[in-house]
Structure 1
Amino acid sequence: MGKLTDREVSKLKPAEKAYRKPDGGGLYLLVTPSGGKLWRMKYRIDGKEKLLSIGKYPDVSIAEARKRQQEARTQIANSIDPAGIKQAQKAARIAAAANTFEAVAREWHSKKTNFTHNTAKNVMARLERLVFPLIGARPIDAITAPDFLSVLRRVEEQGKLETAHRLRGICSQIMRYAVVTGRAQHDPAGALQGALKPRNVKHMAALTEPKQVAELLRMIDGYTGTLPVACALKIAPYVFVRPGELRTAEWADIDLDAAEWRYTVTKTDTQHIVPLARQVVTILKELHPLTGRGRYVFPSARTGERPMSDNAILAALRRLGIGKDEMTGHGFRAMARTILDEVLGVRPDLIEHQLAHAVRDPNGRAYNRTAHLPERKKMMQQWADYLDKLKAGAEIISLRGNAA
């Protein structure tokens, strides 16, 4: 039987079952019931019969099919399996597609279970808008520090310094995830920490004078809004966590018997423990019958499936007549840091631990979440008792250097 011609191939019609039209040397055209015409090559290697897919006619012409047949025969003559090579090449392409920066970033994002809904949405929006169009298709292990810097400089040029710094942190987390999962050797984004322009630091308004704090606490006690917001507002000064961490607190993370709240700090992706003073436990026990069956300690008023809004604490403060230039939800942290240090004389490292800031030992290693826990428990009870005394009108010691 002679070699196939284009004229002969064009006349081939589909049948009820697939059939073959040989071209010689193991090469044949497989005609499928749907009308497809597929090049196949039968061969033997190491005593086993194998089959190699060469392509689809007319995308792969007769001449090209014969050329690929000859290349395969040369490989076979050198004890190389052409089908095995093709499978390896396909696996490499799939692996490369799965290891682009965008693919790894999306995988990392899907595993960030500690992200709130809004945080997850904002992080992905930044990546899709500012990073993926520039380096998303690049193999993640080939991206260098200058590549990331080029991306971040574009953001800086728009005057968005805070966004540039946040984006560097996000890219660094993605690269560290790639290192852990074996798809990169190091984190080049982490090396850029000092390469960006300083961010525009916005100091959150806070009351730090004990006399002012006393009045604030009395005003909070008089809040008449919903019970979840009222409880969150009362607890905020005692625990001085970040506002986002307070509003998204989950009952599953709180042990009222042990008087502890354990959760992951979203900003640093580290584990943290908040010892709960007796006053906080009392407030939570009051709230538990109302929200304890749900996930969130302070659920949204609209739906219990989500935590209360970002603006809930701030709106409550405004409702009490406290202006944005006087106090914010974040201001409770500055209030605690200042008074614990300057009035109560607590060791600064204990305060920094409780603020979930990075604190390192003499060898430069980060302390774990249980570091100085007994001392921190005493500090948190001392702080809560001090606030109660302020609220009750006890004698007030002003900050050092200020008049009483």
Structure 2
Amino acid sequence: MPKLVISLTDSKIKSAISMQKKSFEKNIKLSDGGGLYLLLDRKGGAYWRFDYIRPISKKRATIAIGIYPSCTLARARAKRSEFRELLAQNIDPAIQKQDKQSQCRNNSFRSVADEYRKTEELESSTQRRNQFIWDKLYVAIGEFPIDSITATQILEVCRLYERQGKTDSAKRMRSKASQVFRYAIALGLCQFNVADQISGILKVGKTKHRAAITDEQKLGQLLKNINTHAGRGDIAIDYAVKILPHVFVRPGELRAAKWADIDFKNRTWSYTPPKTKNQTALQHIVPLSDQVLKLFQELYCITGYTEYCFVSMRDKTKTISESTINKRLKQYGFENGETTGHGFRATARTLLDEVLKFPIERIEQQLAHQVRDMHGRAYNRTKYLEERSVMMQAWSDYLDQLTHKNVE
């Protein structure tokens, strides 16, 4: 005759735990019948377990359910019923649990994000900048199945940085999370982009514009200093700092310039900006003024045997580093933050418009910004190239004029 098991109650469990904490003699099993029992260890812990016979091997096995009291008696019994139903179908509950855990790991935010990041085509500098964002997201929600994450969870982690005044970091975290959710939806791993649901809730920080000089006298003094102090360091940096004000491209684009992209005959430099590579993949054309053409010809005699125009003197397979242009500009007598390499873009945009009176559409086009015609179509890369060539020559002549004023 099978042994009669009296079902557990919460009062019985609490009483047994209280006595166990006083004795600390040995582990105790409190059976609830049907294979379910509560294990009380000598340290005072209470753990739900389920004993059963494996369907195929017929060996005894035990599966953990949870810790009392966070896993209640009712919840433990529900799990017992679930496991017994599986056993009736010859399914081993331990194996199914492992499969579910494996599936959760494969569908976790971290694993989906790792797969998504392999599809991104980003410059190494951008990847390094984004790593901070990914690290914070992984710590907060990385191990959660992506279809279980809520908008509230995303908002909480973003607001941790928002409260510290790091509104840009908070917005970038939301944006990166949103990209992962869009990727997961395309793969059928979740149905909703919960990160998009908080896009209008986060605070908008004040935009900090890049430092730029728009005063003619100050700009002339800076150009004079650039020419006067040349030859006191890495020669590739000297030429980069001389050329950048004339072409007003992004400093990273200038640093990555390759000799294969410089057309001396047609006086152009053509390349695809990394910032728009994934969107348009269109080349940007920079017409070379007489002054810039001469500088590139001189530099070719120095670094023309390498792939890059502005090659590092320490490693001929790499370009000059990211911070070198700004560091060099700081040496020319201007206060920290008063001017930056990127600031030459704002300088050119302002003075080409206000002083030289060139059409803003041509200026924006030369800045590699997307400009549309009256029909809403984006101009192609060769549109108005002749007009832009005239503008770039006028700009170089204007910079020379400012330099000579300060020399006199």
TM-score by length of 2: 0.64
Percentage of matched positions with identical amino acids? 33
Could you report, residue by residue, the CA deviation over 1:22-61 in whole angstroms, capped at 9, with x for unpaired residues?
A: xxxxxxxxxxxxxxxx9784xxxxxxxxxxxx7986558x
Match of 1:71 in 2: 89
Aligned 1:239-388 pairs, distance under 5 A: 239-251=247-259, 259-266=268-275, 269-270=278-279, 271=281, 273-279=283-289, 280-292=292-304, 294-357=306-369, 371=380, 373-375=382-384, 378-379=387-388, 381-388=390-397
Q: 1:193 to 1:243 in 2, by over 3 A?
A: farther
The letter of the residue matching 1:345 is K
Could you report, residue by residue, the CA deviation over 1:236-263 in whole angstroms, capped at 9, with x for unpaired residues?
A: 1123222233334455666666624322
Q: Is contact 1:215-1:391 (8 Å) kept?
A: no
Structure 1 unaligned spans of 5+: 1-37, 42-53, 73-81, 397-404
CA distance in 2, matches of 1:178, 1:390: 51
1:218 to 208, 215, 224: 224
Q: 1:362 to 1:155 in 2, by over 3 A?
A: farther
What is the DSSP-based 3-state SS (H/G/I as helix, E as strand, rest coil) of the residue aligned with 1:261? strand
Q: Is contact 1:114-1:264 (8 Å) kept?
A: no
Give the drift of 1:390.
Answer: 3.4
Give the drift of 1:329.
Answer: 1.1
Give the drift of 1:156.
Answer: 0.3
Q: 1:394 to 1:264 in 2, by over 3 A?
A: closer
1:115 to 116, 123, 139: 123
Matched, 1:104 2:116: no
Aligned 1:197-208 pairs, distance under 5 A: 197-208=203-214
Q: Is contact 1:210-1:390 (8 Å) kept?
A: no
Give the drift of 1:93.
Answer: 6.2
Give the drift of 1:231.
Answer: 1.9
CA distance in 1, matches of 2:403, 2:123: 41
Could you report, residue by residue, the CA deviation over 1:266-307 in whole angstroms, capped at 9, with x for unpaired residues?
A: 489544533222234443343345445545432334323433
Match of 1:9 in 2: none
Q: 1:211 to 1:144 in 2, by over 3 A?
A: same
CA distance in 2, matches of 1:175, 1:361: 35
Give the drift of 1:338.
Answer: 0.4
Structure 2 unaligned spans of 5+: 1-52, 64-82
Match of 2:21 in 1: none
Could you report, residue by residue, the CA deviation over 1:173-202 in whole angstroms, capped at 9, with x for unpaired residues?
A: 444444555655665545655432222332
Q: Is contact 2:222-2:332 (8 Å) kept?
A: no
CA-based RMSD of the aligned residues comes to 4.2
Give the drift of 1:340.
Answer: 2.0
Q: 1:70 to 1:40 in 2, by over 3 A?
A: closer
CA distance in 1, matches of 2:187, 2:256: 29
**Count of residue pairs brought into register by the alignment:** 328
Q: Is contact 1:109-1:124 (8 Å) kept?
A: no
CA distance in 2, matches of 1:233, 1:146: 47
CA distance in 2, matches of 1:103, 1:371: 39
Q: 1:161 to 1:394 in 2, by over 3 A?
A: closer
Matched, 1:149 2:158: no
What is the DSSP-based 3-state SS (H/G/I as helix, E as strand, rest coil) of the residue aligned with 2:144? coil
The letter of the residue matching 1:373 is T
CA distance in 2, matches of 1:56, 1:249: 69
Give the drift of 1:66.
Answer: 11
The letter of the residue matching 2:123 is F
CA distance in 1, matches of 2:84, 2:152: 47
Aligned 1:30-41 pairs, distance under 5 A: 41=56
Q: Is contact 1:219-1:320 (8 Å) kept?
A: yes
CA distance in 2, matches of 1:97, 1:169: 23
The letter of the residue matching 2:343 is G
What is the DSSP-based 3-state SS (H/G/I as helix, E as strand, rest coil) of the residue aligned with 2:270? strand
CA distance in 1, matches of 2:261, 2:199: 32
What is the DSSP-based 3-state SS (H/G/I as helix, E as strand, rest coil) of the residue aligned with 2:271? strand
CA distance in 1, matches of 2:225, 2:283: 28
